[in-house]
Amino acid sequence: MDHITRERYGPWAIVAGASEGIGAAFSRRLAEHGLDVVLVARREAPLVSLADEIRERYGVATRVLSLDLSVGGAEQALFAATEDLDVGLLVYNAGGDDNGDVHFLDVDADVWAAMLRRNCHVPMLAAHHYGSRMVERGRGGVLLVSSGAAWAGAARLAPYGATKAFDLNLGEALWAEWREHGVDVLSLVVNATDTPPIRRLMAAHGTEVDHLDDPDDVACQGLEHLDDGPTWDVGSADGGGPSPVGGLSRRDAVLLYSAGTEAMFGSGA
């Protein structure tokens, strides 16, 4: 990861969803490479703890922003809180959700609308806001964390998978538009990873997954491949290759992914 430097992607990086799991791992790795880090998530206490840790360990500057990215106007609060910073990298990792195991009609529509704001509306506007500065000066990067749920629709992942497909396509399109302007864009497709939300869901259903990716490995792969987008699928034999279900019909892909959600969450009602 020698290409992850303060000169190329700094001095400041923003990590949305930084309080735990993959986001915390991204924050540590960026600080290790000398970037100052804005830590964004809903819960302030873990952000403060992480900020203290990486300041002490790596000697970088930090800024903590306790912000619910699913509420209206969240993007404006984010932009205002970073207006005085020279942001060279945006890592949008927010999106882990404890409603990832329910059927579409079992949750009030307002909950799905909040997910849509957090997973689609805010990252799109953030990419536009920070990306415009990056393109203007000819350097920087945007990393959007997507999910294996983006490859095909699946029962009990309807809004979540749809929002992650949005992130996947948004990142790929921005890579195509900005690659000649010195700005790197990567859609990072994350699969089952050992994060607190997945652990909570499995505990609630009494299920297990044979293999969970390590959050630090996921973050390392994302940063390692930031400059060779548009897409990297964590854990696949060829992360930059075709969709893992590209050889299936759309119907078979949907049935396969729906069977996978049953294995992870139980058959449900």
How far apart CA 224 and CA 234 sit, in angstroms, is: 11
pLDDT band at 7 (very low <50, low <70, confident <90, very high): very high
Q: With cut-offs at 50, 70 and 90, classify the pLDDT of residue 207.
A: low
- Cα(159)–Cα(105) distance, integer angstroms: 11
Dist. CA 193–CA 203, nearest whole Å: 15
Of 9, 92, 130, 160, the catalytic one is 160
DSSP string, 116-158: HIIIIIHHHHHHHHHHHHHHHHT-EEEEEEEEGGGSS--TT-H
Give the per-residue pLDDT at 177.
98
pLDDT, tens digit, for every residue of 12-36? 999 999 999 999 999 999 999 999 9
Residue 60 to residue 81: CA distance in whole angstroms:
18
Q: How confident is the model at residue 126 (pLDDT cuts 50, 70, 90)?
A: very high
d(CA 94, CA 108): 21
pLDDT at residue 194, rounded to an integer? 62
Q: Largest Cα–Cα distance of the chain, in whole Å?
A: 53
> What is the C-alpha to C-alpha distance for residues 37 and 57, in angstroms, rounded to an integer?
13
Stretch 70-92: mean pLDDT: 98
Confidence band, pLDDT 50/70/90 cuts, at residue 97? low
The Cα–Cα gap between 143 and 167 comes to 10
pLDDT score of 212: 77
Its pTM stands at: 0.93
Active site residue 160: yes
d(CA 164, CA 161): 5
In the structure, what pLDDT confidence band is assigned to residue 102 with cuts at 50, 70 and 90?
confident
Half-sphere exposure in the Cβ direction for 78 (13 Å, CA): 30
Q: Where do the domains of the chain lie, and which CATH numbers do they carry?
A: 6-265 (3.40.50.720)
Confidence of residue 262 (pLDDT cuts 50, 70, 90): confident
pLDDT at 253 > cutoff 60:
yes
Average model confidence (pLDDT) for the chain? 92
Query: What percentage of the chain has pLDDT greater than the value 70?
Result: 90
pLDDT digits (tens, 9 = 90+) for 208-248: 666 777 999 999 999 999 999 999 999 888 999 999 999 99
